[in-house]
Amino acid sequence: MNNNSHSTPPIPSHPLRWLPEFWELGQRRLRPQARLLGLALVVGIVAGLGAIVFYGACQVVVRVALDQAAGYHPLHPGGEPPFWAPTPGSLRPWLLLLIPTLGGLISGILVFKLAPEAEGHGTDAAIAAFHHHQGYIRPRVPLVKLVASAVTIGTGGSGGREGPIAQIGAGFGSLIGGVFRLKASERRVLMAAGVGAGVAAIFRAPLAGALFAAEILYHSADFESDVIVPAALASTAAYCTFGTVFGWEPLFALSPEILASLAFGDPRQLGAYLLLALFMVVLAMLYTRSFHGVAHAFRRLPLPRYLKPAVGALATGALGVALYFAFGRDEQVLAVLSFGYGSLQGALAMPATAIGDLHLALVLLAIALGKILTTSLTIGSGGSGGVFGPSMVIGGCGGGALGLVLNHHWPAVAPHPAAFVVVGMAGFFAAAAKAPVSTLVIVSEMTGDYNLLLPTLWVCVITFLLSDEQSLYHSQLPSRSLSPAHQGDYVREVIAGLKVGEFLATGPESRPLAPGDSLAQALDRLSGAGNPGLPVAGADGSYLGMLSLEEIHVASRLPSLGGLLVVADLVNEGLPVLRGDDPLDRALELFVECDRTALAVVDESAVPRLRGLVRRADISAAYLRRVQGEGECRAARGD
């Protein structure tokens, strides 16, 4: 018998041999992005600390302005008990006109005198920074946003907490990206991770925060995939930081009896949830149009910008007081002011005796419609706050109102209206902000209930598909391909394989300046060559740096020294250089990072010697030639 007729299974290697393999694999996978991931953790911790400070600031302002001064004691969600017991005393409605107006005035002065970028809802500003400003946010913006938002919302303005916290996280991500001189692409990722970390902390929803950061940038189904892993680490760190101080309970507390009654177990209920989805689409369209319409009207209002938030806050307070008297002094409808999360807690935990109560349905509908108007007035006028929190109130109260009506007429398909509160929150924001996936998760994490994942998925998909293109976030773009942040990706595809050495400019117009040339000679050379910058080289050809019109402009401010200065006094020695075998996309990165249109190319010797210049204009011309050539080839093939 042939002993080799049967194949012998491979002998497994000794477990100790796996360790070097795992170590090598970890190095290959983590080393290129270890710094970015480590910084993402730091951003998450700072976002969590920012959430703690902001939450505490809001509690203090609410205590002083609404509780003690106006006698209004807003309800809190079950997972966030107030710091203090309510102050005894009755409501003084007329102060709900004065206090929000004063808060709007203070907020307007802070924002428009110190950091106009902090106007409105901060998430939109962070989205704009990602797409159009290379992830850069001025360091003062998060601090101004924190104070202005605490004043706006704490005095009765309608807004959410995620906008300020998102901008705090995004601002620190941008700041730390600048401190560590990260590439623009990495700074954008850190900034987006900060947005997700802020949402994760303030809503106690870490998974949703990571998904939100990647999804909210576009109003299509596109995701910013590079953001997910750093945002996951940042969200985890932010959630743990915030939870260490304020606990780990979900934002909204539900009793075990209610949680058991929310379980989905009858496919016929999908018909009722379909009605909910259609209702949420209508509400979302009303919200986005009202929000942008009011914002446009305030932009045209002939008043100083810092006064407009006060006008919006006055109208907000007036609407809240009008609803209060219209509903027979029912303080429930005052949820249209400030955060309004207490109305959701009440709707989620409604007792069995309230189920089927059509008056309660009318109150919830009034809160939903009133919240649309008060948020539009507060934020659209330039007040500072978020729009995600009000969206939860609008969708939850609107869904609860529909759930009560359906339960009254068809209890078999709507056994508990609280289920429509939960699903309504998710479906509404999926339509209004075009973020179905993260919204599906965040509502489940906020309520601690995953029994409704199926109907929530059903409603979110339908509302997302049926909603129009109008989004709450004006800065969202249709897709990655249309984002300025990714335009360089498509340029790289066209010029792939090209090297810097193929684009050397070595003609007379690129001849280097000498260290001893006068500024007049340098200016004459720069003007005559048509280059905004020229290299400076020694007599032996050694590269010394670059001189541009910017450096000469600095010298022009010192006329008394202008005649004494030479090129060597102003040469910029800190600019990076290129090698001939560097890929062309490396040159593109440095052009953006250094804000230059020309860079020096040197050789590999110990003392770098100048080889020539590479200019952005030459690369652009090569890109256009290639694109034109590909187009002609496609035309010749009949494509």
533-537/543-548 β-pairing = antiparallel
Split at pLDDT 50, 70, 90, the class of 179 is confident
The pLDDT assigned to 242 comes to: 94
The pLDDT assigned to 1 comes to: 45
Split at pLDDT 50, 70, 90, the class of 512 is confident
Split at pLDDT 50, 70, 90, the class of 600 is confident
Average pLDDT over residues 303-330: 94
Other Cβ atoms within 10 Å of 518 Cβ, number:
14
Residue 395 has pLDDT above 60, yes or no: yes
What's at 207, amino acid-wise? L
Residue 14 has pLDDT above 70, yes or no: no
* Residue-wise burial string across 340-353, b where 16 or more C-beta atoms lie within 10 A, e elsewhere: bbbbbbbbbbbeee
Close Cβ partners of 49 (under 8 Å, ≥ 6 residues apart): 241
Residue 25 has pLDDT above 90, yes or no: no
Residue tagged 């062309």 (tokens) = 584
Q: Which residue has the higher pLDDT, 236 or 417?
A: 236
Close Cβ partners of 519 (under 8 Å, ≥ 6 residues apart): 552, 555, 562, 565, 566, 567, 570
Residue 121 has pLDDT above 80, yes or no: no
3-state secondary structure 608-638: CEEEEEEEHHHHHHHHHHHHHHHHHHHHHHC
Residue 492 has pLDDT above 70, yes or no: no
The closest alpha carbon to 384, from 140, 150, 66, belongs to: 150
Question: To which CATH superfamily is domain 34-482 assigned?
Answer: Clc chloride channel (1.10.3080.10)
Residue 417 has pLDDT above 70, yes or no: yes
Residue 155 has pLDDT above 90, yes or no: yes
What's at 372, amino acid-wise? I
The pLDDT assigned to 567 comes to: 81
Let me know: does 534 contact 553? Beta carbons within 8 Å.
Answer: no
Close Cβ partners of 115 (under 8 Å, ≥ 6 residues apart): 138, 140, 141, 144, 145
Residue 632 has pLDDT above 60, yes or no: no
What the block records as the tokens of 225 is 């995939």
The pLDDT assigned to 321 comes to: 96
Helix axes 341-348, 417-433, angle to 10 degrees: 140
The pLDDT assigned to 142 comes to: 83
Q: Give me the residue spans of the domains in the chain.
A: 34-482, 495-628
Average pLDDT over residues 118-134: 81
The pLDDT assigned to 627 comes to: 56
**DSSP result, 222-276:** ---HHHHHHHHHHHHHHHHHHHHHH-S--SS---HHHHHHT----TTHHHHHHHH
Q: Which residue has the higher pLDDT, 193 or 162?
A: 193
Percent above pLDDT 70 for the chain: 87
Residue 601 has pLDDT above 70, yes or no: yes
Residue 313 has pLDDT above 90, yes or no: yes
Residues 557-575 have pLDDT tens digits of 666 665 677 888 888 887 8
Q: For the domain bounded by 495-628, which CATH number is listed?
A: 3.10.580.10
Split at pLDDT 50, 70, 90, the class of 102 is very high
Residue 532 has pLDDT above 80, yes or no: no
Chain-centre distance of CA 242, in angstroms? 19
Residue 17 has pLDDT above 80, yes or no: no
> Among the listed ranges 21-25, 412-416, 443-447, which one has the minimum average pLDDT value?
21-25
Percent above pLDDT 90 for the chain: 37
d(CA 510, CA 596): 15
What the block records as the tokens of 250 is 């979900």
Residue 637 has pLDDT above 50, yes or no: no
Residues 188-218 have pLDDT tens digits of 899 999 999 988 998 899 999 999 999 999 8
3-state secondary structure 186-211: HHHHHHHHHHHHHHHHHCCCHHHHHH
3-state DSSP assignment of residue 600: strand
Whole-number mean pLDDT of the chain? 84
Residue tagged 């005796």 (tokens) = 353
What the block records as the tokens of 468 is 């129009």
377 phi and psi angles, rounded to 5 deg? -70, -40
Q: Which segment, 73-87, 308-322, 594-608, is predicted with the most confidence on average?
A: 308-322
| DSSP designation for 138 | -
Q: Which residue has the higher pLDDT, 333 or 560?
A: 333
543-548/610-615 β-pairing = unpaired
Residues 440-467 have pLDDT tens digits of 898 889 888 888 889 999 999 999 999 9
Residue tagged 């919200």 (tokens) = 287
Cα 394 to Cα 283, 345, 423, distances in angstroms: 8, 13, 12
